[in-house]
């Protein structure tokens, strides 16, 4: 079961505090969307508006084309899975998973059949008769997912579902969540503040900041060509430095950069560390002094203070075969296509 979701100009205030401002978003049927942003940006508020736990001050929510804006949570085709996915300790996994179906009045044989199907989906069918106390964090999380999916929601809302797990388990569960979502085809809306998690899982990432959407799109597009400086910074490490546009070209402390255009004015030029290299390029940062250099296996992370702009520190991820030592001189450069340009004060 799956459905598209339409969020139309939703705003929400808690008293004087505006938590969401004019948020509009279309989510396709069967799409895996993550809401990504820093603490307090309004992710949970938006998810709660979708689930019916918060009535937005203004705006509308449509699910499968039907207006759900003021419809109670239990009457929506949504299920919310919270971070604190408390399981009933005195019930078997099967009964935990079948709980929502029992509440809905489904007979025992039918609900157990669904519970087994869902436990099978999350790889825990063999433990159906056991109780949750002996389960690891990851296994509990899987049972909670089976329970949420058992009622066959059209849209599953997940609020930091992996937040309680350690990093390694978190990464493993991300792969599993995505693969389960693919198999069931349900629309998933997943809140996280972890950019790597969003990239690992999402078909589409929605970057939020201060109650608004900053950018939305496939992970690779947002990473490579972010719409705003905020989205650029939130999606990973970014070098930025001042620039100036005259409308036709961009000038920096390192010279002019061809091929980038913006309305005349002060600008911020950005580049990812892995887009930097040693030697020549469209823009050379000129000689600089290596302030730090560290080997990370997949790359060497160097920090360089360029002579042309000694108040800047440029970070580059170089191939692991290159290991410049701190104190050495090094020239970094990059291709014009690797830069993003934003108006200053964006
Ligand atoms: N019931 C409430 N009353 C007043 N303010 C609230 C209430 N719920 C949330 N807020 C405020 O609204 C803002 C957005 O909160 P929200 O929980 O949506 O953020 P978030 O992006 O999910 O952050 P986090 O990752 O920390 O949960 C925050 O500043 C929060 O303090």
At 85 the pLDDT is 72
Give the distance (Å) from ligand 1 centre to CA of residue 12: 11
Selection from 102, 99, 79 nearest residue 90 by Cα: 99
End-to-end Cα, the chain, rounded Å? 41
CB-based contact 250:274 (threshold 8 Å): no
What CA–CA distances, in Å, run from 112 to 52, 85, 105?
A: 28, 21, 13
Supply the DSSP symbol for 340: E
Q: Cα of 272 to ligand 1 centre, how many Å? A: 31
Phi/psi region, residue 273 (left: phi>0; alpha: psi -120 to 50; beta: rest), is alpha
CB count within 10 Å of CB 245 equals 21
What are the chain's domains? 5-230 (3.40.50.300), 237-343 (2.40.50.140)
Half-sphere exposure of 145 (CA within 13 A, CB side): 28
Which residues, judged by CB distance below 6 Å to any ligand atom, belong to the binding site of ligand 1? 14, 17, 19, 37, 39-45, 193
State in Å: Cα 235 to ligand 1 middle: 21
Ligand 1, atom 19: nearest CA belongs to which residue?
Answer: 40
Residue 328 pLDDT? 95
pLDDT mean across residues, the chain: 92
- Nearest atom of ligand 1 to the alpha carbon of 48: 18
Ligand 1: centre distance to CA 177 (Å): 25
* Two structure tokens written together for 179: 């693969």
Sign of CA dihedral 277, 283, 286, 292: negative
Q: Which atom of ligand 1 is nearest to the CA of 20?
A: 14
Q: Give the residues of the chain that fall short of pLDDT 70.
A: 84, 346
pLDDT given at position 346: 63
| In the chain, % of residues over pLDDT 90 | 77
Inter-CA distances, 199 with 34, 36, 190, 215, Å: 9, 10, 12, 14
Ligand 1 mean position, distance from CA 215 (Å) = 20
User: Is 0.95 surpassed by the pTM of this model?
Assistant: no
Closest-CA residue, ligand 1 atom 6, reads 14
């Amino acid at each position: 079961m799956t459905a598209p979701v339409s969020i139309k100009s939703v705003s929400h205030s808690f008293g004087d505090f505006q938590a969401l401002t004019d948020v509009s978003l279309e989510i396709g049927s069967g799409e895996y969307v993550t809401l990504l942003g820093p603490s307090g940006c309004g992710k949970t508020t938006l998810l709660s508006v979708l689930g019916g736990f918060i009535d937005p001050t203004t705006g509308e929510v449509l699910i499968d084309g039907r207006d759900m804006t003021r419809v109670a949570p239990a009457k929506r085709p949504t299920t919310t899975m919270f971070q604190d996915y408390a399981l009933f300790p005195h019930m078997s996994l099967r009964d935990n998973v079948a709980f929502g179906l029992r509440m809905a009045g489904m007979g025992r044989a039918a609900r157990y059949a669904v519970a087994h199907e869902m436990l099978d989906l999350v790889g825990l069918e063999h433990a159906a008769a056991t109780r949750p106390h002996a389960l690891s964090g990851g296994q509990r999380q899987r049972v909670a997912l089976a329970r949420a999916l058992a009622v066959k929601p059209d849209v599953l809302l997940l609020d930091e579902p992996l937040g309680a797990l350690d990093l390694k388990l978190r990464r493993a569960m991300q792969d599993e969540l995505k693969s389960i979502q693919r198999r069931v085809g349900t629309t998933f809306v997943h809140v996280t503040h972890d950019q790597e998690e969003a990239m690992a899982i999402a078909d589409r990432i929605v970057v939020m900041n201060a109650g608004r959407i900053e950018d939305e799109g496939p992970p690779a597009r947002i990473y490579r060509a972010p719409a705003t400086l905020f989205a650029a910074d939130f999606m990973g490490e970014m070098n930025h430095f001042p620039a100036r546009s005259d409308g036709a070209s961009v000038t920096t402390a390192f010279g002019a950069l061809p091929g980038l255009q913006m309305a005349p004015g002060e600008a911020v030029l950005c580049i990812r560390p892995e887009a930097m290299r040693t030697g020549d390029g469209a823009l050379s940062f000129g000689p600089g002094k290596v302030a730090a250099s560290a080997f990370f296996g997949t790359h060497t992370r160097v920090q360089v203070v360029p002579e042309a702009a000694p108040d800047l520190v440029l970070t580059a991820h170089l191939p692991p075969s290159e290991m410049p030592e701190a104190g050495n001189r090094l020239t970094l450069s990059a291709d014009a296509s690797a830069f993003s340009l934003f108006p200053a004060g964006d």
